[in-house]
Amino acid sequence: MLKMETSSQQMKEQEDDGKVCLKRRLGFFDSVCFLVGSIVGAGIFVSPKGVLEYAQLNVGVALCIWAACGVVCIMCSLCYAELGSALPFSGGEYYHVRRGLGSLPAFITIWTLILFRRPASNAAQALTFAEYISRPFYSGCPAPDVLKKMLAIGILWILCVINSKSIKLATWVQNIFTVLKIMSLTLIIVYGMIELGSNPKASEAFTDAFNAKVPNAAQTAQSFFQGLYAYGGWNYLNYMAEEIKNPSKNIPRSILTAMCAVIVFYLLVNISYLTVLTPKELVSSAAVSVTWADRTIPSVAWIIPVSVAVSIFGSLNGGMFMLGRLNYAGSKEGHLPAIISMLHVHYLTPAPAMIISTIIASIFVIPSDLISLTNYFSFSSWLLIGLTCVSLVVLRYREPNLERPYKVFLPIAFGVIAVSVFLVLAPIIQSPKIQYFYALLFMFSSVIIYIPFVYFKLKIPFFDKVTCYLQLVLEVSPTDIFEDSKTE
């Protein structure tokens, strides 16, 4: 590919080293905010119903499952902390699988993530945001589908512009919205604690909390799935490792800080819900947080739908940021067209990667039934987590001299692999459906693309000319290739 020349003035606007590459701009606070902001979305406002329902209304078991889900995610995070601090490059799980297991597993991974799993997830979050943000204006009746889809597509492109324009702006947005959602959760917790201290009946749900029916293994697994959904996003930090200052220290610290904070908030929020609502009332509620607000702060109950929308916005911003880096990393490794790995010459952001991610997510918004299919791809997330931890073990033996500022206790990695195998096979064995076969077929259909275009490096005629044209239109340039250090 021809590298588009940049003027001397443009080069002065870049950082002092003059390299066209992602810069390390995210500090410890930014990293924690990105992680917390990505995890805390709609899950904590809606998942408590599913966790308690599958736990057979056993409050004690439900709270234990919430804590256990957090512990599982911390175990996973510790494995990712080793990989992220030793290999601080964009792409996260994709890059680690590529390094540990080879090109084909990595290509199957990125094929599944960028063409279905992540865009569908972002589209679903955008539609949920549109649902909650429009709810105050349509009291007593649902908002029109066309309006919600227009709002969803609009918010996707607003975030695309923000993330393409400036990493500092995207970071600022994430920090602000993380603070706002923490304030919302704090409001729920404080009201719950006040209720617990002033109303003797508020503690009834916690009296003999384990006396209800104990769920069986299948029900416990379903309850775990509901809880783990609320913790989704804990792995996003590794996707932006190339942009974190002093990654060898900040990645492990940020992961542990964020995960511990999220676990504490999630447990306290669930306790607050149960001080106001009985277990039966909680599982019968369509939106637990909204029902809770109607009971505790009816005069300003609209705050909660707005808070949910704020939480989803922050989580979606983190998802968009992550998906852009995944596309960028896949292109740098030669698994995607070269234009996707190019950076804007002024802003040094992966603008083409952000644009292609947003286009795919926008397509998913239009036919809502496509988003429902993402449930059948849920096992692919844990398949990827398992493969990543297998890569960690492989790299321990294949590259023993690799500098590892942080090393996880290896049995933890094996534990995560075992959990991943269970969570991959459980939904398929428990409820076998043809959709799971279609999902697997879609994943392995990537081989049809991999063999000619990646393995044999088949070139499409005139594609180089199209790439050069897009470079001029988008004002992007290939990144400089250099061995990145693990320091600031």
- Higher-confidence residue of 139 and 106: namely 106
Number of domains within the chain: 1
pLDDT greater than 90 at residue 8? no
Average pLDDT over residues 382-396: 92
Asked if residue 360 belongs to a domain, the reply is: yes
Using a 10 angstrom Cβ sphere, with 0-12 exposed, 13-18 middle and 19 or more buried, the burial of residue 105 is middle
Write the pLDDT tens digit of every residue in 71-92: 999 999 999 999 988 888 888 8
Which H or E run includes 247?
A: helix 247-276
Collapse the DSSP code of 26 into the 3-class scheme (helix H, G, I; strand E, B; otherwise coil) and give the result: strand
What residue spans of 166-216 are helical by DSSP H? 167-198
**What six digits make up the tokens of 251?**
């990645």
Beta bridge partners of 343: 477
What single letter denotes the amino acid at residue 122? Answer: N
Q: Range with the lowest mean pLDDT among 16-25, 84-93, 119-128, 402-411?
A: 16-25
Domain that holds residue 119: 17-477
Beta bridge partners of 476: 344
Q: What is the pLDDT of residue 323?
A: 85
Asked if residue 8 belongs to a domain, the reply is: no
Rounded distance between C-alpha atoms, residue 123 and residue 121, angstroms: 5
CA 83, 87, 93, 95 torsion-angle sign: negative
Write the pLDDT tens digit of every residue in 187-240: 989 988 888 888 888 788 888 778 878 888 778 888 888 888 889 888 888 888
Asked if residue 329 belongs to a domain, the reply is: yes
- Which residue in this structure is represented by tokens 């600022």? 172
Asked if residue 206 belongs to a domain, the reply is: yes
What single letter denotes the amino acid at residue 284? Answer: S
- Higher-confidence residue of 157 and 203: namely 157
Instruction: Provide, rounded to the nearest whole percent, the portion of the chain with pLDDT above 90.
Output: 28
Contact assessment for residue 171 and residue 34, using Cβ atoms and an 8 Å cutoff: yes
- Between vectors from CA 272 to CA 255 and to CA 184, what angle results, nearest 5°? 60
Contact assessment for residue 38 and residue 236, using Cβ atoms and an 8 Å cutoff: yes
pLDDT range class, residue 481, cuts 50, 70, 90: low
Write the pLDDT tens digit of every residue in 403-418: 888 899 999 999 999 9
Write the pLDDT tens digit of every residue in 237-264: 888 888 888 888 888 899 889 999 999 9
Asked if residue 159 belongs to a domain, the reply is: yes
Asked if residue 409 belongs to a domain, the reply is: yes
The pLDDT mean for the chain works out to 84
Helices (H) and strands (E) in the chain, counts: 21, 2
Report residue 325: phi and psi, to 5°: -70, -35
pLDDT greater than 50 at residue 5? no
Rounded distance between C-alpha atoms, residue 337 and residue 330, angstroms: 9
- Our measurement of the distance from residue 378's CA atom to the centroid of its chain's CA atoms, rounded to an integer in Å, reads 13
| pTM of the shown model | 0.84
Which CATH number covers residue 139?
Answer: 1.20.1740.10
DSSP secondary structure of 321-373: HHHHHHHHHHHHTTSS-GGGG-EETTT-S-HHHHHHHHHHHHHHHSSHHHHHG
Asked if residue 9 belongs to a domain, the reply is: no
> Among 35, 462, 461, 74, which residue's Cα sits nearest to residue 256?
74
Beta bridge partners of 220: none
> Among 416, 467, 302, which residue's Cα sits nearest to residue 71?
416
Asked if residue 186 belongs to a domain, the reply is: yes
Report residue 103: phi and psi, to 5°: -75, -45
Contact assessment for residue 327 and residue 107, using Cβ atoms and an 8 Å cutoff: no
pLDDT greater than 90 at residue 395? yes
- Higher-confidence residue of 137 and 36: namely 36
Rounded distance between C-alpha atoms, residue 124 and residue 374, angstroms: 9
